[in-house]
Structure 1
Amino acid sequence: MPNANEDNSSALTQVQHRAVSELLRVSPVADDLARRFRAAGFHLALVGGSVRDALLGRLGNDLDFTTDARPEDVLKIVRPWADAVWEVGIAFGTVGCQKDGYLVEVTTYRSEAYDRTSRKPQVSYGDSIEEDLVRRDFSVNAMAVALPEKEFIDPHGGRDDLTAKVLRTPGTPENSFSDDPLRMLRAARFAAQLDFEVAPEVVAAMTAMSERIEIVSAERVRDEFNKLLLSAHPAKGLSLLVDTGLAAHVLPELPALRLESDEHHRHKDVYEHSLIVLQQAIDLEENGPDVVLRLAALLHDIGKPRTRRFEKDGRVSFHHHEVVGAKMTKKRMTALKYSNDMIKDVSKLVELHLRFHGYGTGEWTDSAVRRYVRDAGPLLDRLHKLTRSDCTTRNKRKAAALSRAYDGLEERIAQLEEQEQLDSIRPDLDGNQIMEVLGIRPGPEIGKAYKFLLELRLENGPMEHEAAVAALKEWWTGQS
């Protein structure tokens, strides 16, 4: 039976084989670029996440390089070589370009640090790759491969940490997080992306320094949080944020859920329920990770702490928590600088997530089904997934009944859709026809008439033109 050292050696051998295979794949582009840098008197190395992913056998077409050349020299080298060049990151020492289907970023050796009042990193350039690697966030991202000779550079034991699936910092975590507090959030993101454990000393530093995250801009926090949420194991990263206290500064509504028991006492708290709903929503995704669906699943119950009531019969109620939660979602996402469209979509899903429960016995009228579809609009497919995910009961009979009921609702939607084009419900008369029938000019009365006809359409389904005209005239008579 092989001993632990033999197991570790075998794992490293597999890692090395994967890395060689990946590096051979990108060699034509990487080596060509490296030779151009050498001819200009500079060094070039594949670095960071690109080396990590090569060792994991998952290197994509995004290649990160580091160099001793300053940005203006990098531009001189890549402009004649690349298919396209962009300078959006040049203030931070990064030049981007595209070559033969690869997205390439070349960054000058650098170091970054925050002062106590700044939200933006101060950039200074270094002169050695060792200086550059020690400033990286984690040892698994502090490896490099010098090109074109392909010399492996790993001064901080990143390969061993990769094999052990652990996240450590090249230096002390306190110094690393002081330089850039966003790295604390990044630790949770990489734990979620890679399914790695975070070293105890790193967790301790995250806990002790969690309030430092507040000096980081909302946009950077949002982008890092999105990467975490869109990862393969988001619950792992979210739990780390909550346990270290970071969530209290970036998404305080999440740890607040830990204090609440849901109305059926099926889970330890609403926080655990929300993580299960998130995972169940992920399991229903059909076209890759969906940040809108995942945000809605995570936040759907954040209104519960504010609406919890203990009833006289011993039950716990959360009346209108979906309405309160939608407002809280809008406020938090606005603070994190999400786009208006995304804020609107996620808060709408939170607001609608309980609507189906009025259908529980399958007694909705066609009118109610039409309104359900109309209110969901383009979010209907996501609402289907969110509603199904929100069933976390351990009672298999009850879960099966809820699933059948929702199957029934979807079938009725499909039937009505075939008959009535539910996704584009409009009144049977348009604005011009309304003006013609009533003999009036544009004005607020047109909007009122349109709303009346829309309600009539939702209630009764499509009407013949003559019937719609007669109903409109009868309504108009009652307005005078």
Structure 2
Amino acid sequence: MKNYKGALSHNIFRVITQASEEIKLESYVIGGFVRDHILQRGEPKDIDIVAIGSGIELAKKVAEILPHKPKVQVFKNYGTAMLRAYDMEIEFVGARKESYQKDSRKPIVEDGSLEDDQNRRDFTINALALGLNEDNFGNLLDPFDGIEDLNSKIIKTPLDPDITYSDDPLRMLRAIRFATQLNFKIEKESLDAISRNKKRIKIISKERITDELHKIMLAEKPSKGFSLLHKTGLLHIIMPELTALEGIDEIEGQKHKDNFWHTLEVVDNIAENTDDLWLRWAALLHDIGKAPTKKFHKKIGWTFHGHEFVGAKMVFKLFKRLRLPLNDKMKYVQKLVLMSSRPIAIVDNDVTDSAVRRLIFDAGEDIEDLMTLCEADITTKNPNRFKKYHNNFKVVRTKMKEVEERDHVRNFQPPVTGEEIMETFNIRPSREIGIIKDTIKEAILEGEIPNEHEAARNLMLKKGRELGLSVSS
């Protein structure tokens, strides 16, 4: 029997051993901690402990022994308890066996043995357990050859995958998420079972689904996860807006690119440059408006006119359906989708400074993220075109820098405030104030006046007279 005492060097495990011996319980560390130690995947943040008996009793005993006496959170309905120690979250559960009803992923739970508990685990690599009692400290219990699957980089279920996935359909997303995060392969029978059981995903809450999508999105290569979601049919159920982009149509010898696979390339490209979850979401959704706006014209071929505007509206509907936040995160993604084609329009040498000013003004503090998205959107395999497009964006950046240094329009604040307008004309809040401020803003963006207080005040006085306002004495 293999022994992994080295994995248990942290003081918390000795405390759990002491507590287990004092209340005469068998205890084991199981799941992700063991898997990640063997894979050498950094410091753990979560530890799962299984007790053959009451996990709640063991948690309370551990808290009693620990010097800082942490608070124990008890979840009686689930027979679990949790405490925080040494910057880690430690969850305790009594070993159990589970049975499921068809319309719910919530199991009927009974007390069980360690073997029962390992049988209910989602994957063989998550069923690995290390003994924590004095007589088996560090001994590995691996009933499903999880070590072999770790070495072979394989995701598979301990028992029949059809039963595993039908019982708890969230495990289908977890299989794909682990395959993406660890760069593992899902065993063929297990992958086929996901396809067979894909409709069961409908009983899972949207919040649980999006939690797994976030983890896939934050992986080093998100396209692997979305390719698997597509291959198994899950993506069509979860995000039909994306799968609608797949395919290449040809009319009169004219084709367009496959916007689905292009999108996955864009997400991988942006993942190389940012860990920002919402910027990655913007990359995933930047072209979703292309499916409903696709048209063929004899003279010019395929067009997607207005896809950015349509796509931005689709972002709201998708976020609402998936229970994603409908706050500034959603508005940020909408904004980047809406503006995703704007920078390329200012590449031409004869573009006006006002067009550059408006881009900087409209993008505001998100201008760098917008440029990162646009550069990730270059997926051509032609080296000359690739170089040309990247050089184009260098031109855009240069123009933006020149205009910004001169005109200071990023995060623009009008040189004349509403308070100054009210004081000058001795008026209360009214529509005239908005008209004057908009006039000043437009004049600055068009380059008619500099972004300076004196010029803005003079325009304020002029516009005020046109509106019939008098300067207060």
Matched, 1:136 2:121: yes
What residue identity is the alignment partner of 1:325? G
Query: Is the CA contact (8 Å cut-off) linking 1:367 and 1:458 kept in structure 2?
Result: yes
Q: Deviations over 1:167-225 (max 9, x none)?
A: 11011111111221011111111110111111111111111110110110000000011
SS in 1 for 2:272: helix
Paired residues for 1:39-438 under 5 Å: 39-62=22-45, 63-82=47-66, 83=68, 84-85=70-71, 87=73, 91-111=77-97, 114-118=100-104, 121-122=106-107, 124-148=109-133, 149-260=137-248, 269-285=258-274, 289-313=275-299, 315-339=301-325, 340-438=327-425
Counterparts in 2 of 1:273 and 1:86: CA distance versus 1, 3 Å: farther
The percent identity for this pair of structures is 35
Take 1:407 and 1:457, find their aligned partners in 2: how far apart are those partners?
Answer: 25
1:113 shift after superposition: 5.4
> TM-score w.r.t. structure 2 length?
0.90
Query: Is the CA contact (8 Å cut-off) linking 1:85 and 1:95 kept in structure 2?
Result: no
RMSD between aligned alpha carbons?
2.6
Query: Is the CA contact (8 Å cut-off) linking 2:56 and 2:79 kept in structure 1?
Result: no
Q: Deviations over 1:346-383 (max 9, x none)?
A: 12111111111211314333322222122222322211
Counterparts in 2 of 1:466 and 1:293: CA distance versus 1, 3 Å: closer
Take 2:129 and 2:254, find their aligned partners in 1: how far apart are those partners?
Answer: 51
Counterparts in 2 of 1:115 and 1:380: CA distance versus 1, 3 Å: farther
Counterparts in 2 of 1:367 and 1:174: CA distance versus 1, 3 Å: same
Query: Is the CA contact (8 Å cut-off) linking 1:187 and 1:198 kept in structure 2?
Result: yes
Take 1:80 and 1:297, find their aligned partners in 2: how far apart are those partners?
Answer: 49
What residue identity is the alignment partner of 1:37? S
Query: Is the CA contact (8 Å cut-off) linking 1:334 and 1:343 kept in structure 2?
Result: no
Query: Is the CA contact (8 Å cut-off) linking 1:222 and 1:336 kept in structure 2?
Result: yes
Take 1:105 and 1:380, find their aligned partners in 2: how far apart are those partners?
Answer: 43
Residue of structure 1 equivalent to 2:436 = 449
1:301 shift after superposition: 0.8
1:478 shift after superposition: 3.0
1:34 shift after superposition: 2.3
SS in 2 for 1:231: coil
What residue identity is the alignment partner of 1:272? W
> TM-score w.r.t. structure 1 length?
0.88
What residue identity is the alignment partner of 1:367? S
Take 2:373 and 2:254, find their aligned partners in 1: how far apart are those partners?
Answer: 20
Query: Is the CA contact (8 Å cut-off) linking 1:113 and 1:180 kept in structure 2?
Result: no
Take 2:80 and 2:377, find their aligned partners in 1: how far apart are those partners?
Answer: 44
1:88 shift after superposition: 7.7
Where structure 2 has 5 or more consecutive residues not aligned to the other structure, the ranges are 469-473
What residue identity is the alignment partner of 1:102? M
Query: Is the CA contact (8 Å cut-off) linking 2:265 and 2:379 kept in structure 1?
Result: yes
